Chain A
């Protein structure tokens, strides 16, 4: 049993159990060998496309255009990366992707936590009906609305602006629902003391409920960020100016004068992929734990 696995489970199980025998596999040698082999095979299959891409990006276009299974066809070179960074498009798109994803995340989290709190603690009339409508809206995929949304953005004269990319993405009924269920489960006693002390409802929310909800807010923020980061269809539809495009849209839409260059396209792909993978590498355990709090993975 690895140390990592132990710490992973330590939060849910008493440490002595986790340190003991691996429950799922039992004591036999065979299951462990089989499981290990399966795991290695799967991981290799999952990593090969990455490796192939890395190797391609490190070659010259001429070397790539000779056939042969070995990816190692010629000398390694960083030319492709250099050319891409010089052109600067990818940097602009990466900046846009970060800015847009960050703003979407910020606004969505703010709006959704407030709404979830209102739905959880509020007493206003029509609360149940509004909540019902919100839950029903989980079923409406935003992709279905691209046509009227584009029409709306034309009406507001917002096509080709950051606002047009960001605003429709901040509506997240699913996140409101997840947060509300979490807030519902927080014992009221904690808040009562503050209310008796004269704290305003907003203060109760900010200094008691929010701090207790940090893991779930983090999980929601992660979901929203990845969602916005990977969103293609809407930004693709509403941006035509290359300076406003996000990474996936820019890479898919804008070409260069030279035509298809495999090393360069792999290099830009990898440059684009790098930031989020590093983030995941640093925070993966927290991310897994956060996901557990959403109840999405719960049993």
Chain B
């Protein structure tokens, strides 16, 4: 970080009146801004209240039998953690979360990259492509799930009617335990790929074109240049997009809660829904906090691994 000029530097001005005026203003400026801490204070206030407090409070709650019901809370030591380690639903929901993260993140990065490259290639109708790929991202989650529940509807939905027209047996998109999570992932790719697409598009637009031009002059074909120039140039962006995507996918709750409530038979229940289920539906806020902290440990682990990979690439 570079050093800055002292805040409220000395002034040199002529008339005494102006000087006094300036001094007053400067004094005011100094009181208001000092060494810059004042600028940070509002953020520190909300950060302390709505980030640090809940983090500490959640940790405390995870050691209590805190309940949604209106009654006294008592300290229970590591009971919640012991219970969580032995709770098969914790592990299956963590497993579901990881599975979803894998099957959603991979296409979310690759499809976004493909879309951005295709759009960037300069075919006509840019606004139309951008709109079709990005528009779903602007839909509130319930709207997305409404549309897809309708597409997945067993008898009247488009998906099964399409299969029927092709002479294939209908699929229980949301009712078959082996299929449901894939259906959720497909919805998620459709819904959120636009954001990654935009990041890639922005990156492509800011790439220096010199290498590409030189290679083109040397007669390298489009395919060759894509593989040996453009994609390597996008390495950092891909790392970043993948990192943001993995973190986003790990946090999945909204679309699954609305679409399947974690069913059928718990096969799509992500860990955040389990937190909701035991904490709010089952009243056990303390236990839910413990599960949250186990999940937090997983997120920290994933983040550290990613950071290491990221560093090594540099």
| Direct interface between A and B, CB < 8 A | yes
Given contact pairs A266-B147, A299-B206, A200 touches B156 in the complex (Cβ within 8 A): no
Question: In the complex, what residues of A have CB within 8 A of residue B133's CB?
Answer: 42-43, 46
Contact, CB under 8 Å: B7 / A201: yes
Contacting chain A: which of B81-89, B102-110, B171-179, B288-296? Answer: B288-296
- In chain A, what residue has the closest Cβ to B58? A148
Complex interface bits, A194-216 against B, C-beta within 8 A gives 1, otherwise 0 = 01111111110100000000000
Contact, CB under 8 Å: B36 / A266: no
Question: Which A residues from 118 to 159 make CB contacts under 8 A with B?
Answer: 118-119, 121-124, 127-128, 130, 134, 137, 139-141, 143-152
Residue from A49, A130, A249, A284 whose CB has the most chain B CB atoms within 10 Å: A49
**Complex CA distance for A297 and B233, rounded to whole angstroms:** 12
Question: Which B residues from 206 to 250 make CB contacts under 8 A with A?
Answer: 206-207, 209, 212-213, 216, 221-223, 225-226, 230, 233-234, 236-237, 240, 244, 247, 250
Contact, CB under 8 Å: A124 / B34: yes
- In chain B, what residue has the closest Cβ to A145? B54
Question: In the complex, what residues of A have CB within 8 A of residue B135's CB?
Answer: 50, 277, 280
**Complex CA distance for A151 and B54, rounded to whole angstroms:** 9
Say if the beta carbon of A170 comes within 8 Å of chain B: yes
Contact, CB under 8 Å: B40 / A144: no
A42, A50, A237, A262: the one contacting B115 at CB < 8 Å is A42
Say if the beta carbon of B121 comes within 8 Å of chain A: yes
Contact, CB under 8 Å: B123 / A118: no
**Complex CA distance for A232 and B259, rounded to whole angstroms:** 13
Question: In the complex, what residues of A have CB within 8 A of residue B46's CB?
Answer: 111, 167, 170-171
Contact, CB under 8 Å: B147 / A49: yes
- In chain B, what residue has the closest Cβ to A128? B1
Contact, CB under 8 Å: A141 / B202: no
Say if the beta carbon of B119 comes within 8 Å of chain A: yes
Contact, CB under 8 Å: B147 / A288: no
Chain B interface mostly? helix
Say if the beta carbon of A78 comes within 8 Å of chain B: no
**Complex CA distance for A35 and B272, rounded to whole angstroms:** 40
Given contact pairs A144-B296, A149-B50, A288-B205, A4 touches B127 in the complex (Cβ within 8 A): yes
Contact, CB under 8 Å: A147 / B225: no
**Complex CA distance for A285 and B130, rounded to whole angstroms:** 9
Say if the beta carbon of B98 comes within 8 Å of chain A: no
Question: In the complex, what residues of B have CB within 8 A of residue A191's CB?
Answer: 5
Question: In the complex, what residues of B have CB within 8 A of residue A118's CB?
Answer: 36-40, 43
Contact, CB under 8 Å: A9 / B205: yes
B7, B150, B216: the one contacting A266 at CB < 8 Å is B150
A114 to chain B, nearest CB (A): 5
Can you list 27 contacts pairing A with B, beta carbon distance less than 8 Å? Answer: A2-B123, A2-B126, A4-B127, A24-B117, A42-B111, A42-B114, A52-B158, A69-B158, A97-B140, A110-B42, A118-B36, A124-B34, A134-B43, A143-B251, A148-B53, A150-B280, A152-B53, A168-B50, A176-B43, A192-B5, A229-B138, A232-B257, A237-B276, A251-B142, A252-B145, A262-B150, A280-B134
Additional pairs, 19, CB under 8 Å, beyond known A35-B121, A139-B299, A170-B50: A5-B123, A8-B126, A36-B123, A49-B147, A67-B155, A112-B43, A114-B42, A122-B40, A134-B47, A141-B251, A201-B8, A201-B29, A252-B142, A252-B258, A291-B198, A292-B206, A296-B240, A297-B199, A297-B201
- Of all A-B residue pairs in the complex, the 10 with the closest CB atoms, nearest first, are A122-B36, A200-B29, A118-B39, A297-B202, A115-B43, A201-B33, A148-B58, A118-B40, A292-B202, A248-B140
Q: Please give the residue numbers on chain B whose beta carbons come within 8 Å of chain A beta carbons, in ascending order.
A: 1-9, 11, 13, 22, 25-26, 28-29, 32-40, 42-44, 46-47, 49-51, 53-55, 57-58, 61, 66, 111, 114-115, 117-143, 145-148, 150-151, 153, 155-156, 158, 161-162, 164-165, 190, 198-203, 205-207, 209, 212-213, 216, 221-223, 225-226, 230, 233-234, 236-237, 240, 244, 247, 250-251, 253-254, 257-258, 272, 275-276, 279-280, 285, 288-289, 292, 295-296, 299-300, 303
